[in-house]
Chains A and B, each alone.
Chain A
Amino acid sequence: MSAPDDIATKQSVPFDAAEASVGSAATARATPRYVWALAAAVLAALLPLVATNFVLFQLTLVMVYGLAILGLNLLTGFNGQFSLGHSAFYGIGAYTAAILMDHWDVAYFYTLPAAGAVCFVVGFLFGLPALRLQNLYLALATFALATAMPQILKFGPLEPLTGGVQGIALIKPDAPLRLPLNPDQWLYYFTLAVLLLLMAAAWNLVHSRSGRAIMAIRDHPIAAASMGVNTALYKTLTFGVSALYTGIAGALGAIVVQFVAPDSFNFLLSVSFLVGLVIGGVGSIPGSIVGGLFVLYVPNIAESISTGLSGAVYGLIMLLVIYVMPSGAAGFARLAAAQSAKARQTWINRSERRSP
């Protein structure tokens, strides 16, 4: 039996190695990370000028899934706790938004903090029993949550609120302030803004004192506890924050798709999040978006290659990707960055030798 904490620890090794080998000489020349982030954000902001509404709708969903995967990443990637139950948090977020909008005519942008708050509380409470469980046992407990959620949403006495099997249909919001945008474009920008805000928040969280505590618990729980980290508190809080992220994603998803139904929040959605997490890179914030891209587009590509065998094609693509990039897109990017930095360094050394 290997040590219980090796779910995510291996991820941190290539990261440190890459950082170390880039070294001091190369950092002066290598493009800083925020430049890449800024470029990506500008590119994303310009996309609606060229893309069709359907493509925009898909990209909005990519961001929604990316956000949900980011939530899972905070828990699994940074804190080392397994979860197969994030479809439940996504569903709770979606239903919170839908019920608020449908029953009480709450404006769609107010539903996001509400969904986040509800999910934070549920996640925090679920984190309490989860404290005692590790690895596969925790996976089972969260799996129970994922299985229970569609049944609870369909549950008879709650039907006036949840709409039962029928679900709830919503209306697509228009752009405010008479902005010259159609609803799809507006939702795209709205989702992009929420995503960037929450990504920045996640980045700050991970690079703060609390973030170090969270990762210390992942890497070595006993050492973390003996350094004075309140393991129980941080684990439950991380569970809450992770659920908050995924819940907000769920609320956004409900607004974008304009429909919620119990069976769309089943265990398979959790599996999709997990696939996205691994493909994007465990413990990487931008990797989550890559995961969102994979989860949304690759099944469609598989379907277009072969309708009957789409599951098999999807599986094969998944296998190919993890053979090429065993630690996800983020790990691959780090490796590539380290390689190119090394190449640049040798090139600099060579030219310095030649020039005098």
Chain B
Amino acid sequence: MELLLQQVMAGLATGAIYACMALAVVMIYQAIDHLNFAQGEMAMFSTFIAWQLIQWGVPYWGAFVAVVAVSFVGGIAIERILFRPIHNAPVLTQLVAFIALFGILNSSAGEIWNFTIKEFPTPFGRGPLFGGHLISTHDAGMIGVTLLILILLYLFFRGSRLGLAMRAAAANPASARLVGIRVGWMIALGWGMSASIGAVAGMLIAPVVFLEPNMMLGVLLYGFAGAVLGGLSSPGGAVLGGFAVGVIENLAGTFIPYFGRELKLTIALIMIVAVLLVRPSGLFGRSVVSRV
């Protein structure tokens, strides 16, 4: 029982990382209707900028705010410069553009800051929470911030005019344009917001996985898995899905005898696919019905 509890808590801690990323993924999915494969690299790049600022002597929270702002502008710039010209191209072509962006960011980060791993500070401290050994204060802080972002996003999308306009632009661009919403700018705004959320996720994740150009690849993929498991149309579902992936991965590694440890990611992914077979639009997603 003790072991189970411990593994679940450890799973929640890793799951918090995935949940952070899953949330950023779903955000941009809602704004632009595509999965952004370069999301992780954008977050990594932002985190490197934060690291550089801290190295130059900027205090943590100063760097934090500056990087969130810079990422917002950077996200908008990427949309305007790279993706605006091909917004009418087929989906697969846009996918390749994401892959290209991935390569560009990854390789330039490696060139600017090199591939040695770097320590990244945490504002929450690294001690165990409440004196117990189940979960550290940083993990708890990460879970807390993820949930806080989730609540803020919920309020923004449900309660503000701008949020409503963004949802309309994503759901039905043609009708949104007819009622006077500037769809192009809503999409750019979505990019900016998701870059900012990604930056926050990156800065929370970096103290755990250490900072280096490839730090996000695994995180992003399991973040995707979490987002898809929870349902791409539901931010809350994505967060839950992220936690679920972390817990399943940990439990499979501990409790499935013989090959559990070696194949734990495989098992986690197979379980997710099994869930999808029962609920093809994810646990909390709405299935899309289109008129024919």
Contact = CB atoms under 8 A, between A and B. Distances in A.
A289 B270 CA distance: 33
B99 A11 contact: no
Given A311-B107, A312-B108, A319 B100 contact: yes
Main secondary structure of the interface of A (DSSP, over half): helix
Contacts of B103: 311-312, 314-315, 318
B263 A279 contact: no
Contact of B101 (A2, A223, A315): A315
Nearest to B282: A137
B92 A136 contact: no
A156 B281 CA distance: 35
A133 B110 CA distance: 37
A308 B111 contact: yes
Interface string A147-165: 1100110111100000000
B290 A4 contact: yes
Nearest to A272: B99
A162 B101 CA distance: 36
Contact of B269 (A8, A147, A312): A147
B273 A141 contact: yes
Interface residues of B, number: 48
Interface in A282-300: 282
Contacts of B95: 274, 278
Contact of B280 (A133, A143, A155): A133
Contacts of A147: 221, 265-266, 269
A254 interface: no
A108 to B, nearest CB: 31
A318 B272 contact: no
A137 B282 CA distance: 8
Nearest to A2: B33
A138 B263 CA distance: 21
Interface string B93-104: 101110111111
A144 B266 CA distance: 7
Contacts of A267: 221
Interface residues of A, number: 56
A299 B82 CA distance: 21
A137 B259 CA distance: 27
A96 to B, nearest CB: 20
Interface string B43-59: 00000000000000000
Interface stretch (A19-27, A192-200, A320-328, A342-350): A320-328
Given A129-B277, A143-B269, A147-B221, 20 more contacts: A1-B290, A2-B33, A8-B92, A132-B280, A140-B272, A147-B265, A147-B266, A151-B262, A152-B266, A279-B96, A308-B111, A312-B103, A312-B104, A312-B111, A313-B107, A315-B101, A315-B102, A318-B100, A322-B97, A328-B93
Interface of A: 1-4, 6-8, 10-11, 76, 129, 132-134, 136-137, 139-141, 143-144, 147-148, 151-152, 154-157, 220, 222-223, 267, 271, 274-275, 277-279, 282, 308-316, 318-319, 322-323, 326-328
20 contacts: A1-B33, A8-B90, A8-B92, A11-B90, A133-B276, A140-B224, A140-B225, A140-B228, A141-B273, A144-B272, A148-B265, A148-B266, A152-B266, A278-B96, A312-B108, A315-B100, A315-B102, A318-B100, A322-B100, A326-B88
Interface of B: 33, 35, 82, 85-86, 88-93, 95-97, 99-104, 106-108, 110-111, 171, 221, 224-225, 228, 232, 259, 262-263, 265-266, 269-270, 272-273, 276-277, 280-282, 288, 290, 292
